Amino acid sequence: MTLNIAIIGVGLIGGSIGLALRGAPMVKGITGIDVNPQALNSAVKMGAIDRGAPLKEGVRDADVVFICSPLETVPGIVRAIRNHLKPGCIVTDVGSTKQKVMEAFAAELPPGVHGIGGHPMAGSEKGGVAGADRYLFENAVYVLTPPGSPGQEPVETLAALVGQMGAQVIIMDPSRHDDLVAIISHLPHLVAVALVNQAAGEPEALMLAAGGFRDTTRIASSPPEMWEEILFSNREAVIHRLEGLITGLNDFRRYLADRKREEVRSRLEQAREIRESIPRRKTGLFPVTCELIAIVPDEPGVIGSIGATLGEKGINIVDIEILRVREGDGGTIRLGVPSIADAETAVELLRETGVKAWLR
């Protein structure tokens, strides 16, 4: 059996889902729905959807409906489509928090229609359908949150469909999902904001700000409106985890005040251990990457010539980062390659061309 797909909201995520599902074995056709007719036109042109349609007509034949509009619009859309869905239809979304959406599904969807929350852990620097990318979900984690007593079959169908986007499906309870994203996403955001606000009125601090501070606070540059929505949609979990964090920071304050070095040290050590256990690639699908450091001259094309030197010998650069640049002089670059053998060969090849290089 192949499926009719409807995508409501053909922007970055909706467009990428369309591109990723076009031609997938499980998919019969893709209908796009959007308040903006231009987005529909673009989506048809770029092959993200087969056709555009108005809301009610667009969902009528759908076996799976992806709601890809902003979090706060989901309940209203569910209400608007509920009487136009066919029996057995699966309705899912892509929002950053899941309990509120699951409540809307439970309250609004008629019996025989299956509401299953979804959260692809992927984004892009470019918004709108123009940023849609058929590989956006490739190897990304995609969480599905079925309701308390899911029919097994719809969950399996949706998981298989999402798998055909190239994503790694993880199924969990909605409240568990919301607690975990409070830890890994919402709390870091609040902390970055609070940290940056500590520097209010201290322009000199920003002048000194080295890489660490920029890294830690990058997410504080994200759109405030979007984050207000996310934080309030996950209020309870964020408050709970925030209290845990405040307790942890208060402990630090007390240990410093009481000069309890052992306690401070053990918390620093615990954090290092936990952090080192974060998978380097989210997925484990990538080959282990070895790293090398190279000090290169600052000349147009130097990155090209390094790439060419390694490429000629079949060594693929799978990761690259410029660690430091000295204008007119040179820079330090970190290169990731697929194996230790590649890394060793790369170091030799680079040294032969006069580049200072070593294994990291």
Within 147-176, the residues that bind a second copy by CB under 8 A are: 166, 170, 172, 176
Cα(125)–Cα(131) distance, integer angstroms: 8
Binding segment (CB under 8 A) for a second copy, from list 35-43, 110-118, 146-154, 235-243: 235-243
Binding segment (CB under 8 A) for a second copy, from list 36-44, 52-60, 103-111, 186-194: 186-194
Q: Would you give the end-to-end CA distance of the chain in angstroms?
A: 51
Near a second copy by CB under 8 A: residue from 190, 294, 346, 357: 190
Q: What is the number of other CB atoms lying within 10 angstroms of the CB of residue 129?
A: 28
Cα(12)–Cα(18) distance, integer angstroms: 10
Residues 79-118 that bind a second copy (CB under 8 A): none
Q: Establish if 243 lies at the interface with a second copy (CB under 8 A).
A: yes
Near a second copy by CB under 8 A: residue from 57, 153, 321, 352: 321
Rank residues 3 and 102 by Cβ distance to a second copy and give the closer one.
102
Q: What is the DSSP secondary-structure string of 288-345?
A: P-EEEEEEEE--TTHHHHHHHHHHHTT----EEEEEEEETTTEEEEEEEES-HHHHHH
Place of tokens 């709390």: 187
Query: Phi then psi for 27, rounded to 5 degrees?
Result: -105, 130
Cα(198)–Cα(346) distance, integer angstroms: 44
Q: Establish if 256 lies at the interface with a second copy (CB under 8 A).
A: yes
Cβ(188)–Cβ(219) below 8 Å = yes
Q: Establish if 22 lies at the interface with a second copy (CB under 8 A).
A: no
Binding segment (CB under 8 A) for a second copy, from list 1-9, 23-31, 54-62, 297-305: 297-305
Binding segment (CB under 8 A) for a second copy, from list 81-89, 152-160, 240-248, 345-353: 240-248
Q: Establish if 274 lies at the interface with a second copy (CB under 8 A).
A: yes
Residues 38-67 that bind a second copy (CB under 8 A): none
What is the nearest approach in angstroms of a second copy to the Cβ of residue 226? 9
Q: Establish if 228 lies at the interface with a second copy (CB under 8 A).
A: yes
H/E segment holding residue 213: helix 211-217
Rank residues 111 and 314 by Cβ distance to a second copy and give the closer one.
314
Helix (H, G, I), strand (E, B) or coil at 53: coil
